Structure 1
């Protein structure tokens, strides 16, 4: 064996590992056995496992099943893992055992080898800290890995929410600038009755506020953890009170209400909280998709489309057509939200993958939830910075489209009847004249009364001005 490698052993025997790596035999076997696709296990899950291993070492020491010296070495090694020092030593992909065993052991091995160094020993055979006996003490992949996914998912929601709140604020600020601008509404992409620009944009903000509330509520569902359940939920191999002690440390470090699940069998055999979170993320994705589609319709043109909104010119829009500005932010977010909805479908299917005491889609669940939350966070930030804050309104064009609309005739229906109002609209359209001229030509109303009844601003506020 060359000096650049060392022997690591597991229950199946010795494995050669390059000397520079901190992982051990099981990780090396997994590198060979699970070379499936380019997707790496998210570092958020690895770091969450590091937090749990640190809390577990402290809990084990408190309960007298781990000596204080080894506990100290493990805690120090975990702190280095959490600082990102060993990120390159977690090479495994997502597509591995459905329990996440290979990643759990990867973390155990790296921590054990580093803790052994801190204790004056060596990596490999002569290490004083064992990955199973000490780092994984009182644990199983089956309770630790899903707990790590919950921790990482909770962090991802906390990182998403500020970006979402800032986008909502930006939309509300824009809406407040245009409270007095009355435009024509559209249903079925055809002219409808008037509303204000603020009402339209306020609807977008309200849709996102609802999604924000649902995402905040999802945090409560993530907080029950299966720690202490070990292999199937009974807690075999863990001392009484271990899970509670680990959660106590996690709560203190994060400020989140992590606690042992009332029924660990339920949260180990299924992962409904993760499916629920992904559903809520999917709702936000649908809301963003709807909003960007609305914006690119309203900004279409600028002269041969709706042309009501003016997009910020972030970059040239065409390699051949000079001066073109395209709704690129809308397109980027639309693609990202479609991706998220696909991830949501995968998570829903994975949530059905519980058989008896275990769901065997844990890495997929963690990977898709975390990637979706990160995409949503970036979408919210990018939309705010590169689209909403620079959005402008062509007020003159908005007014012209409103005043030309045939559906202002809706205000006449209570006055002259539906059928007569319909004749006015059809006559105006057939002869390409305004509603007022058509109504006067047909003799269904006086000019004075028409001007009183057909008032776009009043139509947008049929019950009076909203409170400010």
Structure 2
């Protein structure tokens, strides 16, 4: 009893020695040592990997009972404890830091101890009496940290990626809707931040939707690798201490209890040694973040001003932009998307280096891989969510401003070039820039083309589509309306 804090303690023992553990907690001595050794981030373990561990321990208990290694009462108590964790209980008892030495042994043992102590309670015993349910002999039966933790990391990544995909599909749909809404808005296209040739605002937003769909397909491909687990490989993939029947049943049982499409690796040694699949997933997430950041840059540019910038679109005003400049509104949602992308790019570098740092039969750096991976997927999900709800869905077009910039741009000379020749077109462009006169006016003044012919050449549809078709004629009528 701690006389100051009125806390009862139980004494637990591990290979390091004896240690007092608060009597009311479900974690044990190994979790306590880890919490003392690895106070790194100050953050909690991601709730989804706790769920993944509970699914694994539940499937292992079912399997071990099926093959006769766990009696019915012990197996049922472990299963009930896992179900309670999946229902959200005992989360405060997962006390280890996400970043930890030991290839995730601390996290695995934290789960084993919480489940064991709850199972002991269910069977009528006192927490810490591991003669009833032992964290290693019963909860961890047939397992090793080295197959449990990477499998939990893959399962967690899959669940988080599915949530991200939902948000990305919403963003894709939002861009498609804006593409239709803005399809008639003619504006100036730009290359290298200089006037290029006209484009329709809807075409730009359609391109954004296409890029997002490509990111989704890339993500689907990477996710396929996350479905292959090394469960049953135990310490180094050879399956030492795992019953042959356990080896055959563990992944099918895990797939069933978790309702996930999981398969066992054909080469368990490879699957234990090599974590390149996490590089593939991180790369897909990074590529998507880069896409979104580029789009965010475009939106900030097109909305810049409003008086002294492009001001071709308006973004929804979400909050005051300055503590000193009244009326200023900043593009805060695209800005946060940019920042999330920067962080994800950094996480990808960390994941790449950690995967490369694996040695021989194991990679010891799974904790930092998962910490960065889960953060990248989560933050991208949240960034996409706010991007859709607080920015993209509320964008409006400044049609008159867009058309003014086109009409007064030198860039439309490109459309005239095939009719007057490159050199003459270049001369007209120079005169337009020096005089400030529109290209159209100079062409007519120099009688290079007739007004009717010029109208046809500078037709918005003619300048933004390869050729005239029935579809283009309909678009032309919309533009003229």
TM range, smaller chain: over 0.9
Residues 368-418 of structure 1: CA deviation (Å, up to 9, x unaligned): 111111111111110010001111110011110111110111111111110
User: Do structure 1's residue 40 and structure 2's residue 41 form an aligned pair?
Assistant: no
Greater displacement, 88-97 / 106-115:
88-97
In the TM superposition, what is the alpha-carbon distance from 1:255 to its structure 2 partner?
Answer: 3.5
In the TM superposition, what is the alpha-carbon distance from 1:322 to its structure 2 partner?
Answer: 1.9
Greater displacement, 26-35 / 231-240:
26-35
User: Do structure 1's residue 422 and structure 2's residue 426 form an aligned pair?
Assistant: yes
User: Do structure 1's residue 181 and structure 2's residue 175 form an aligned pair?
Assistant: no
User: Do structure 1's residue 136 and structure 2's residue 140 form an aligned pair?
Assistant: yes
| Equivalent residue number for residue 95 of structure 1 | 99
Of residues 117, 123, 126, the one that matches 2:121 is 117
Of residues 378, 384, 387, the one that matches 1:383 is 387
| Equivalent residue number for residue 251 of structure 1 | 255
In the TM superposition, what is the alpha-carbon distance from 1:443 to its structure 2 partner?
Answer: 4.0
| Equivalent residue number for residue 435 of structure 1 | 439
SS in 2 for 1:180: coil
For residues 97 and 357 of structure 1, the distance between their equivalents in structure 2, rounded to whole angstroms, comes to 17
Is the 2:186–2:399 Cα contact (8 Å) retained in structure 1? no
Greater displacement, 63-72 / 318-327:
318-327
Is the 1:39–1:94 Cα contact (8 Å) retained in structure 2? yes
| Equivalent residue number for residue 294 of structure 2 | 290
Matches within 5 A, 1:387-406: 387-406=391-410
Residues 185-241 of structure 1: CA deviation (Å, up to 9, x unaligned): 000111011111111111111111100111122221111100000001010100113
Of residues 330, 340, 361, the one that matches 1:326 is 330
Count of matched residue pairs: 468
For residues 219 and 180 of structure 2, the distance between their equivalents in structure 1, rounded to whole angstroms, comes to 26
For residues 243 and 324 of structure 1, the distance between their equivalents in structure 2, rounded to whole angstroms, comes to 63
Unaligned runs of 5+ in 1: none
For residues 258 and 139 of structure 1, the distance between their equivalents in structure 2, rounded to whole angstroms, comes to 17
In the TM superposition, what is the alpha-carbon distance from 1:341 to its structure 2 partner?
Answer: 0.9
User: Do structure 1's residue 62 and structure 2's residue 66 form an aligned pair?
Assistant: yes
| Equivalent residue number for residue 199 of structure 1 | 203
Of residues 141, 148, 165, the one that matches 2:152 is 148
| Equivalent residue number for residue 281 of structure 1 | 285
Greater displacement, 215-224 / 38-47:
38-47
For residues 425 and 333 of structure 1, the distance between their equivalents in structure 2, rounded to whole angstroms, comes to 38
| Equivalent residue number for residue 463 of structure 1 | 467
For residues 31 and 448 of structure 1, the distance between their equivalents in structure 2, rounded to whole angstroms, comes to 80
In the TM superposition, what is the alpha-carbon distance from 1:68 to its structure 2 partner?
Answer: 1.1
For residues 97 and 258 of structure 2, the distance between their equivalents in structure 1, rounded to whole angstroms, comes to 27
In the TM superposition, what is the alpha-carbon distance from 1:292 to its structure 2 partner?
Answer: 0.5
Unaligned runs of 5+ in 2: 475-481
For residues 382 and 409 of structure 1, the distance between their equivalents in structure 2, rounded to whole angstroms, comes to 40
For residues 416 and 384 of structure 1, the distance between their equivalents in structure 2, rounded to whole angstroms, comes to 45
Of residues 226, 237, 240, the one that matches 1:233 is 237
SS in 2 for 1:355: coil
Matches within 5 A, 1:337-352: 337-352=341-356
Of residues 295, 298, 311, the one that matches 2:315 is 311
Of residues 35, 59, 73, the one that matches 1:31 is 35
For residues 288 and 344 of structure 1, the distance between their equivalents in structure 2, rounded to whole angstroms, comes to 16
Is the 1:244–1:259 Cα contact (8 Å) retained in structure 2? no
For residues 164 and 363 of structure 1, the distance between their equivalents in structure 2, rounded to whole angstroms, comes to 27
Greater displacement, 75-84 / 32-41:
32-41
Greater displacement, 208-217 / 8-17:
8-17
User: Do structure 1's residue 83 and structure 2's residue 87 form an aligned pair?
Assistant: yes
Residues 244-279 of structure 1: CA deviation (Å, up to 9, x unaligned): 422212222344220110111111111111110010
For residues 448 and 54 of structure 1, the distance between their equivalents in structure 2, rounded to whole angstroms, comes to 78
Structure 1 residue ranges, 4+ long, deviating more than 4 angstroms after superposition: 465-468
In the TM superposition, what is the alpha-carbon distance from 1:40 to its structure 2 partner?
Answer: 3.1
